[in-house]
């Protein structure tokens, strides 16, 4: 009977570990089959890089999402996927009009060229990322909802 209990406990632990891993993977993009592509890169004089990336998904109805992350190096598509599901996204929207430029070493400008981007198309809109201030041009000034892909 004691051996049976040990085997049952081992199986229960294995199932729990797999369940935790599956939930973690689900909320960190491991099961996301979308394509992540860098659309624009802007380096600041302080060696920070702003990356405008596109997430497209042919399998789901989600369509295109454009998002901005800031870091100290370029990100691979796999790293972009993880950044997309993290708190690193400083701006995300479903519009192709986005461009980036650095106004100063600690101020990034996210702009919508050719049109005005309304709040209904914005998923994330942060004003600060670490020491970097983020300002917006032709983008609705209201704060967007928190990012939850």
Over residues 52-79, mean pLDDT: 85
Residue whose token pair is 């967007």: 144
Residue 144: pLDDT band (50, 70, 90) is very low
The arithmetic mean of pLDDT across residues 11-32, rounded, is 72
- 3-class DSSP assignment, residue 117: strand
Residues 6+ positions from 84 with CB-CB distance below 8 Å? 29, 32, 36, 53, 55, 65, 67, 149
Cα-to-chain-centroid distance, residue 109: 18
Give one DSSP letter per residue of 45-56, joined into a string.
TTS-EEEEEEEE
Helix (H, G, I), strand (E, B) or coil at 71: strand
User: Is the separation of the CB atoms in 79 and 85 below 8 Å?
Assistant: no
β-bridge partners, 35 = 56
Average pLDDT value for residue range 77-87: 89
39 CB contacts (<8 Å, ≥6 apart)?
52, 53, 54, 66
Q: How large is the average pLDDT for residues 52-64?
A: 77
Checking if the pLDDT of 114 tops 60, the result is: yes
């Amino acid at each position: 009977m004691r051996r049976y209990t040990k085997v049952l406990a081992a199986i229960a632990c294995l199932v729990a570990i797999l369940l935790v891993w599956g939930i973690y993977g689900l909320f960190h993009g491991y099961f996301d089959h979308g394509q992540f592509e860098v659309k624009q890169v802007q380096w600041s004089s302080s060696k920070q890089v702003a990356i405008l990336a596109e997430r497209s998904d042919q399998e789901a109805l989600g369509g295109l999402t454009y998002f901005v992350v800031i870091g100290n190096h370029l990100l691979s598509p796999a790293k972009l996927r993880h950044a997309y599901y993290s708190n690193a996204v400083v701006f995300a929207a479903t519009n192709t009009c986005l461009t980036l430029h650095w106004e100063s070493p600690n101020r990034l400008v996210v702009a919508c060229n050719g049109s005005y981007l309304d709040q209904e198309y914005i998923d994330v809109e942060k004003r600060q990322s670490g020491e970097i201030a983020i300002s917006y041009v032709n983008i609705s000034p209201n704060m967007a909802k928190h990012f939850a892909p």
